[in-house]
Chains A and B, each alone.
Chain A
Amino acid sequence: MPGLTIDLNIYADEEALIEALQRGDKYACACMIKHHGSQVYAVALRIVGDPDEAEEVVQEAFISACGKMGSFEGRSKLSTWLYRITTNAALMRLRKRREDTVSLDEPQVMDEGDLLPRQLGDWSVEPGQQALSSELRQVMERAVQELPPSLRVAFVLRDVQGLSTQEAAEALDITETALKVRLHRARLQLRERLAGYLVEQSEEVAA
């Protein structure tokens, strides 16, 4: 399989890479893809939930990033800036799909009762990679896709990609408090959805 034949060490640090990107250096652009491409792809895939659409989002994001490098002010990390461009492109894609008729920009207004835990059975699963059967992974991926987009992006950045609260909030251009509210709602909804599967699994093990 062909791959990138670039030396990531040519730039001493991120600052040097950004300077080269701002000069329009094509090698720097390829280097940025080598360094951040998989993270950008992972975010796009988990937001749009479809590999073909994720690829289009990634292309849009890097075309935009390479074209707008001059406007990058360096106030955030390069990766955070890329995540912002990618989540915007992915959310735009969801808008085009017309999956949602409400704004994607603000958290969905929920009745307080919607957040109350209903599934109260215990789970025997011990989290870790060994716990992730392909069936459980499918349940987990589907559950993420069922989240409202505004909650999905917060959850994907913070809990799947592992960004800090500050980085995820910067990437979404929202406050850390707003990020935490969205994250909490996402986790509660995911817990309910996983419970439907994991409580049943636990009961089968106990039987």
Chain B
Amino acid sequence: MTERNHKHGECRELLKDLSDYVDGDLDETLCIEIEHHMAECDNCRVVVDTLRKTVLLYHALPPESMPGEVETRLLKCLELSEYLSVQ
């Protein structure tokens, strides 16, 4: 699926549905269409695989927590310091 190959209408047409496809939100007919296309188009297969990996990598990021000192300053700012422990 190089830029040249992308002029191929089918690759371009399928591209817009790929996020729904990797999310499992696409109707069955379109899924089958994409899967048939991927069986014959290595570039699209790579794009789908790496798009799915992109999403999964970001899903795997550990959650960010609010640092304790940021929480402390936030409570002070909101005049809620009375709820801070004195440890």
**Hey, which bits of chain A sit against chain B, CB under 8 A?**
1-6, 26-27, 29-30, 33, 37-38, 40-42, 45-46, 55, 58-59, 62-63, 66, 112-113, 115-123, 125, 127-129, 131-132, 136-137, 140, 155, 159-160, 162, 165, 180, 183-184, 187-188, 190-191, 194-195, 198
Contacts and interface: CB of A to CB of B under 8 A. Distances in A.
A159 B75 CA distance: 29
13 contacts: A26-B79, A41-B66, A55-B74, A58-B74, A120-B46, A132-B61, A132-B62, A136-B57, A184-B16, A187-B19, A187-B51, A191-B47, A198-B50
B85 interface: yes
Given A5-B85, A120-B47, A184-B19, A41 B65 contact: yes
B64 to A, nearest CB: 4
Contacts of A27: 83
Contacts of A117: 1, 6, 15, 43, 47
B50 to A, nearest CB: 5
Contacts of B86: 2
Interface in B56-71: 56-66, 68-71
Contacts of A63: 77-78
Nearest to A161: B63
Contacts of A62: 74, 78
Given A127-B57, A129-B62, A1 B68 contact: yes
B84 A2 contact: yes
A128 to B, nearest CB: 6
B36 to A, nearest CB: 19
B84 A5 contact: yes
A140 B53 contact: no
Contacts of A198: 50, 53
Given A37-B66, A122-B49, A180-B19, A159 B58 contact: yes
A159 B80 contact: no
